[in-house]
A and B are shown apart, each in its own frame.
Chain A
């Protein structure tokens, strides 16, 4: 059993319970133990790129420290949490002034800790599947291959960009989700909007704007022959579905659970 630290994030506790539930179940099947870190706090939803923004990044730093203390990588499932935590980790590693100021804030915490300077490795669940578990192993564990299903991988922006920081995959021509789709027996559909934005948080401020972006994504996926879109992000899913996608949008963990035979309503 490989142990990793796990940061679920707020949305996975509420609107996106399936994303969390199946992430845990599948991990178990694949021989990985997700050890939820204690007392985690919301990542803040978005990474604020300003250098002078400190306080909103501290919750991420605390999560990173918790993982460091266990000497484990920190795994997230939600794309947004992942983006915020990875960017924060990059900034604390490379920006000395930010590092000093953040550590100064944290020295006010009740528990006394060593200053943190980016030691923890931040991984998305996809990276865990690719780099730790291995897609070949997933193939072996699949009991319920999704043969014949044409699935569009929707990356969105948060997993890929900024490419230099996220180092997740080629930001313009990623392959990790397609490999995942192949591993569970389905057929990936490559379409040009897979790495374009769904509209994100603008859904609140300007729903029309978000609708335009979401429709562009789902229309592109559909026109390239996809019957289903898969995502790792609750907000992406919300935007795509809310704005009238013609094809269903599901979390990747749901599909994985289905393929591994641990989804409750598989036969329902």
Chain B
């Protein structure tokens, strides 16, 4: 039987399709990340902490919402680890498990202005809510 911690790790690895063991810990993902300063845990730490099975800490962190999904880390990783996908899987785990979304439709009106494209609202809802 897997305990909860292991189950979470399995789920993140399976859903993201990422094998954290491929990481050689060069840190290029964090070296390339444009949102590094906004994050508490950085892309290379996501990979390492998933490998270690400490997913709950990541789920609780605001860092999961700071990733831009710009895929620069994925593109530049020499080992094909795809950190952005692992962050996405942890983020989905967080919003799915919590049962409370990071952003809801009610939050939207105050966040938008007349010029904002629909695409931004759609994307934000996809990224921050179930």
Contacts and interface: CB of A to CB of B under 8 A. Distances in A.
Q: Do A and B come from one complex?
A: yes
Interface of A: 9-11, 14-16, 42, 44-46, 48-53, 56, 78, 80, 157, 160-163, 171-172, 196-197, 199-206, 209, 212-213, 216, 234-235, 237-238, 241-242
A196 B71 CA distance: 10
A46 B123 contact: yes
Nearest to A157: B70
Interface of B: 14-17, 34-35, 37-38, 65-66, 68-72, 74-75, 82, 84-85, 88-89, 92, 102-103, 108, 111-113, 115-128
A213 B37 CA distance: 11
20 contacts: A11-B119, A15-B116, A45-B122, A49-B88, A157-B72, A162-B75, A171-B75, A197-B68, A197-B70, A200-B123, A201-B120, A202-B35, A203-B116, A203-B120, A204-B116, A204-B121, A205-B103, A212-B37, A234-B119, A235-B123
A49 B84 contact: yes
Most buried by B among A9, A10, A42, A205: A205
A50 B84 CA distance: 10
A8 B101 CA distance: 29
Contact of B120 (A44, A209, A235): A235
Nearest to B35: A209
